[in-house]
Homo-oligomer: A and B are copies of this chain.
Amino acid sequence: MGGDFGPDIVVPAAALAFEQLGDHVRFLFYGDRARIDAVMNGFPALRRVSDIHHTDKVIPNDEKPSVALRTGKDSSMRLAIEAVKSGAADSVVSAGNTGALMATAKLLLRCLPGINRPAIASVFPTMKQETVMLDLGANLTCDAEILVQFALMGAVYARVVKGISHPSVGLLNVGTEEMKGPEYVRAAAAILGEVEFPGTFYGFVEGDDIPHGTVDVVVTDGFTGNVALKVAEGVGDLTGAFIKDAFQSSLLARLGGLLAIQALKKAKSRIDPRYYNGGMFLGLNGICVKSHGGMDAYGFSRAIMVAANLVSQGYNRRVAHEIEQLMEQETFFSGIAQQVVNPA
């Protein structure tokens, strides 16, 4: 029921995902049966692999997470997350209220053993390969240990879902030299430089390294990650607007634009936010993916594909295994962090 369009988008999106995922997938829809049913009429094949669970209750987009937790019982969002908890579903995908989704998922699913906080991760286009970035806003402030856990979760994603055997992991900072940056970032770097984790620690990266594709995984706190993501979106809008202006600035430019229009559309598709839709809530004891609220059916289907990928690759099992390995080194890495914070 979430997002700007509810079932009008979610049902066709499921049909698109079904086309790609094939017969082994099933969909559980939670929300207003009449509305869902009406859209489903256009997709008879999807209906055969779908169950609709009716509820009147919906968590509004502007509801505070704390209120959603108190009053959200029987809401479509909560019921969908409960389906993951009970094992009825392998994953949940929602275009609803991000804060409420995170709070409810955290409460019901809990974190994986050894993970202190879940993170929101997403995949971005770059000048080289795609890059995974986290956290995009679940944890506004982080300490060194949390950043190390994020590095692990991001590295496992790159390894099992993207198939990169030795993903490089960079810590976002204001410079690449060892002495640069806040204490908690330097402490995280010291730990990642010493422990074994499922990636290669690259060191510090700066903001421009994200679009340049310097590393496979960029790790940062949720405040910085959220700002970075939105700055990137906004600069995309800005350059798009300037280029559009340019092609309308003269007759010659207009003609040039017409000739190049197919090529330009292809360039635009390389940074299509619909293709990259799907914020993964990593570190929970269950798979939960957030779609942008304004997405169309294709965009939402991409978020479903992210969830399906995490499920089929056994992402959580792998993270649980890796965090166990890391925790065996914990005494060691706590010592390192201490040295950074209080150098001898």
Cα of A252 to Cα of B62 in the assembled complex, Å = 48
- Stretch in contact with the other chain, from A30-38, A223-231, A281-289: A223-231
Look across to chain B and name the residue whose beta carbon is closest to the beta carbon of A66: B179
Look across to chain B and name the residue whose beta carbon is closest to the beta carbon of A255: B259
Classify chain A's interface size: 35 or more
Instruction: Judge if A234 is at the interface, Cβ distance under 8 Å.
Output: yes
List CB contacts (< 8 Å) of A195-220 with chain B.
206-212, 220
Asked whether B235 lies within 8 Å of A232 as measured between CB atoms, the reply is: yes
Asked whether A207 lies within 8 Å of B226 as measured between CB atoms, the reply is: yes
List CB contacts (< 8 Å) of A235-279 with chain B.
235-243, 245-247, 249-250, 252-253, 255-264, 266-267, 270-271
Asked whether A267 lies within 8 Å of B238 as measured between CB atoms, the reply is: no
Instruction: Judge if A140 is at the interface, Cβ distance under 8 Å.
Output: yes
Cα of A227 to Cα of B253 in the assembled complex, Å = 35
Q: Point out residues on A near B: beta carbons under 8 Å.
A: 62, 64, 125-127, 137, 140-141, 172, 174, 177, 179, 181-182, 206-212, 220, 222-224, 226-243, 245-247, 249-250, 252-253, 255-264, 266-267, 270-271
18 contacting pairs across A/B (C-beta < 8 A) = A64-B179, A126-B238, A206-B230, A207-B228, A207-B233, A208-B230, A208-B231, A208-B233, A208-B234, A211-B231, A211-B237, A211-B238, A235-B239, A246-B264, A246-B266, A250-B262, A253-B262, A256-B260
